[in-house]
Amino acid sequence: MNQARLIPSGYKVESKRRFSALIAAAFLLMFFGVNLIALNRFPPFIDETVHIRTGELVLQNFSPLEGINLGRQFTVLWFALFQPAASDALWVARAATLIAALVGLAAIMGIARLAAGTWGMIFAALLYSFNSYHHFYGRLALADPVSGTAVLAALYFAYRLSRRAAWQDAALCGICLFLAVGAKINSLPYYGIPVAAAFA
């Protein structure tokens, strides 16, 4: 008797999902570990010090609206959560950027898995993890990497929305875009993502 017939098809699907989840978790850990090395090697950018100082003022003045004129409020609040000024300010703020970037990598892997399966997910994770641009710019305590992460998450939900009509995906796409614009106002043009997904 053929043993393949004895194994339920649902079991195979579940087994593939677990395998993909384990690979994704391994890539997230690898990405975080690789990018954590020599995090302080680059000198501070002026914008990094502005974000850290504004986050410090948020905590000192108990005002979440401190520095709202910068157009990067959610980024400032994100850094304030980690209180970088209380220890090694630059390292902590950059590590907080990396933590946010994990969501972006997860979104990239999710899109690639939906589009091209597990091997597509692996290839996309490798490209994203060892991209020299992200290895430099994506590790800095700036608003762009934090906002970009939210945009990538919005793209993931929009891609799912283009494949199936579900209000949960539409709502999550909208929430991610709201967070992206709150992290940096320059992300406003990305509000066209759900429209493109609807047309797709």
Mean pLDDT over 151-172 rounds to 90
- Work out the mean pLDDT of the chain and round it to a whole number: 88
- Residue 8 binned pLDDT confidence (cut-offs 50, 70, 90): low
pLDDT at 5 over 80: no
Cα dist from 39 to 36, 79, 96, 97, 145, whole Å: 6, 16, 11, 11, 15
pLDDT at 9 over 60: no
d(CA 9, CA 146): 40
- For position 79, what pLDDT does the model report? 94
pLDDT at 2 over 70: no
Is 151 in contact with 187 (CB distance < 8 Å)? yes
- Residue 48 binned pLDDT confidence (cut-offs 50, 70, 90): very high
Its sign, for the CA torsion 163, 165, 167, 170, is: positive
- Residue 11 binned pLDDT confidence (cut-offs 50, 70, 90): low
pLDDT at 4 over 50: no
pLDDT at 6 over 60: no
pLDDT tens, residue by residue, 96-132: 999 999 999 999 999 999 999 999 999 999 999 888 7
- For position 1, what pLDDT does the model report? 45
